[in-house]
């Protein structure tokens, strides 16, 4: 089998995908991510994952291409990646002491078929002090993360409870992806 292409620059996704023991390489195309605040987060991540996968697949139609997208959202709005430290601070203040959801969309494309799905996980934060928020932002970890935190990094100390798949929060629902790859024949099941 040809190498699988991950249409993602995320080092976390590369590391986690490596746990599947499959040969892969990373190839990405820039797409303009537009977050429609009126769209349902589940639909939005699936659409963005599809766009990322398709952008690469157009140039590599003989390969298996996998695209991803992850969003954090509260009951009132979607929290993308913060544009600056002030926006990161506002996001962390909004998440402090409250529950929110993380949803990751995945698209698998082959020349025979395309499959898109999402997984969702509920995350509850402890209340955060202003010093905790300021110190965390000073690590720069929140700056390229949806919702302004990394569950697998320094941000882990703020998480009180996770209801669902931890790997969805990190950005790649690993066990579900493995099952989908088996089902469509990318991974031999016998």
Nearest to 28 by CA among 2, 5, 61, 50: 5
For residue 179, how many C-alpha atoms fall within 13 Å in the half-sphere facing its CB? 6
Three-state SS annotation for 116-158: EEEEEEEEEECCCCHHHHHHHHHCCHHHHCHHHCCCCCHHHHH
Q: Any alpha helices (H) in 5-160, and if so which ranges? A: 11-18, 41-57, 85-95, 130-138
**C-beta of residue 14 within 8 angstroms of C-beta of residue 26:** yes
Catalytic-role residue among 30, 42, 47, 69? 69
Distance from C-alpha of 151 to C-alpha of 170, rounded to nearest angstrom: 6
Nearest to 143 by CA among 80, 82, 89: 82
For the question of residue 69 being annotated catalytic, the response is: yes
Q: Are strands 4-7 and 24-26 parallel, antiparallel or unpaired?
A: parallel
Catalytic residues: 69
């Amino acid at each position: 089998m040809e190498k699988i292409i991950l249409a993602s620059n995320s080092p976390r996704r590369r590391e986690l995908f490596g746990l599947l023991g499959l040969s892969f390489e990373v190839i990405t195309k820039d797409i303009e991510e537009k977050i429609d605040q009126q769209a349902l987060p589940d639909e939005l991540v699936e659409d963005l994952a599809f766009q990322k996968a398709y952008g690469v697949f157009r140039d590599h139609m003989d390969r298996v291409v996998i695209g991803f997208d992850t969003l954090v959202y509260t009951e009132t709005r979607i929290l993308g990646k913060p544009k600056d430290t002030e926006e990161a601070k506002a996001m962390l203040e909004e998440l402090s002491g409250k529950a929110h959801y993380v949803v990751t969309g995945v698209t698998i494309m082959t020349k025979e078929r395309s499959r898109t799905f999402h997984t969702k996980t509920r995350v509850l934060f402890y209340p955060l002090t202003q010093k905790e928020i300021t110190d965390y932002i000073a690590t720069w970890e929140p700056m390229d993360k949806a919702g302004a935190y990394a569950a697998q990094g320094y941000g882990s100390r703020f998480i009180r409870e996770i209801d669902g798949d931890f790997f969805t929060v990190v950005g790649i629902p690993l066990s579900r992806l493995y099952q989908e790859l088996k089902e469509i024949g990318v991974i031999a099941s016998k």
